[in-house]
Amino acid sequence: MKDTTHQVHQRAKQRRAKIHRKIKQMGLDAFLVTDEKNVTYLTGFTGDSSYLWLTSGDAILLSDFRYTTQIEEECPQLDTLIRDANQTTFNLVTQIAKTSKSKFIGIEPSCISKSVYDQIQSSVSGELVDTEGWVEELRAIKDKNEILTIRRSIQIAEKAFSVIRSQMTADQTERQIAHNLEHQIRAFGGSGCSFDPIVGIGPRAALPHGIPSIRRIEQDPFVLIDWGARYNGYASDLTRVLVTARIPPKLRKIHDIVLTAQLAAIAKIRPGVCMQKVDHAARSTIERAGYKKQFGHGLGHGFGLRIHETPFLSPINKGQLCPGMVVTIEPGIYLPGWGGVRIEDDILVTKDGCEVLSGLPKSLDECVIEL
């Protein structure tokens, strides 16, 4: 069930309160939020081209005429500054900065170009201060409502996959499978895919982020599908390998290694554990099997309003897992000219361990389909 506007407002207000305190603690006068997802997270407003101006006690949404009614519907209790066709967003920044006499203003440097940075700098007389990651740190820990929404997103993704699996035919192409996935996701209540689905048949499964082609299912004995659904703004992210003929011995060998690596990593997940160690659990399994160079990406990542967001599990991230984090665990082995195997599930870090939120079969024998 979709939340009421009041519920969304209350959660956004609680999130802003944490930023208000941080602004005060850091001795800033204001914090200009320019990342669209961060604006959504802190306000409930789902439009774009808008900034959020925060002080130690106030919040003002800077937007434009197109969104006047939408803002009234989504966050009616939020103060706003609406520009017309004769103004730019930077005019609003100038206006509010002068009115508030702000001397030290926090910004999000990684989500803006140098051009935008220069325009913000020219719009204010105060000093710009790097506040990178303030909102992302909050977003990394999902609240109960976010977890429920992500669960629903996963359920939709899994239902869509089950349908396209049952309807798969020998003459279907990678592109058709990808299109069918999005259709089913929408049919089950999702707003669309979390990202463009990755569908790789045979040798094309060796492309971790391959773009679907016109290669047909009947051309090779297996297909890798990486997909996710978006529901109420939140994403999911899953990967499975389906077998469309008799299981080739090499596929079974590679799949067993990847599955063992994934299970080893999941077994390590609990609060306080270093993300580097979780990555190592999977990576060392693959290395011992002789495929070190064939697993060249990080083990997993957080997701939520974005498909890739803090935290990131990799060999170099020494950060610790915390309750409420939701991450993917997706080891893989990629062999150019032959194909690849990646197995991906969505995991919630709980107070005393973890919960695998996704439940589709992943043993190879359960992934055989009859065409």
pLDDT, tens digit, 9 for 90 and up, residues 221-239: 999 999 999 999 999 999 9
Q: pLDDT at residue 168 above 90?
A: yes
Task: Residue 277: give its domain's CATH number.
Answer: 3.90.230.10
Domain finish residue from 138, 172, 195: 138
Which residue bears the tokens 């897992």? 321
**What average pLDDT does the chain have?**
96
Instruction: Please report the pLDDT score of residue 237 as a whole number.
Output: 98
* Residues 114, 220 within the same domain: no
Q: 361 burial class (0-12, 13-18, 19+ CB within 10 angstroms)?
A: exposed
Range of the domain at 151: 141-367
| Pairing outcome for strands 229-231 and 192-193 | antiparallel
Please, what is the angle between helix 144-166 and helix 174-187, to 10°?
A: 130
* Residues 97, 165 within the same domain: no
* Residues 88, 115 within the same domain: yes
Instruction: Please report the pLDDT score of residue 2 as a whole number.
Output: 63
pLDDT band at 358 (very low <50, low <70, confident <90, very high): very high
pLDDT band at 5 (very low <50, low <70, confident <90, very high): confident
Domain finish residue from 138, 164, 199: 138
* Residues 121, 240 within the same domain: no
CB atoms within 10 A of CB 284: 14
**What is the mean pLDDT of the segment spanning 29-37?**
97
* Residues 171, 124 within the same domain: no
pLDDT, tens digit, 9 for 90 and up, residues 138-167: 999 999 999 999 999 999 999 999 999 999
Q: How many residues does the chain have?
A: 371
**What is the mean pLDDT of the segment spanning 52-81?**
96
* C-alpha–C-alpha distance, residues 314 and 302, integer Å: 12
The model's pTM: 0.96
Q: pLDDT at residue 362 above 90?
A: yes
Q: 241 burial class (0-12, 13-18, 19+ CB within 10 angstroms)?
A: buried
Q: pLDDT at residue 323 above 90?
A: yes
Instruction: Please report the pLDDT score of residue 3 as a whole number.
Output: 73
* C-alpha–C-alpha distance, residues 271 and 268, integer Å: 10
pLDDT, tens digit, 9 for 90 and up, residues 113-140: 999 899 889 888 889 999 999 999 999 9
| Domain tally, the chain | 2
Query: H or E element: which one contains 158?
Result: helix 144-166
Domain finish residue from 138, 170, 192: 138
- Residue 154's closest CA among 219, 229, 79, 89? 229
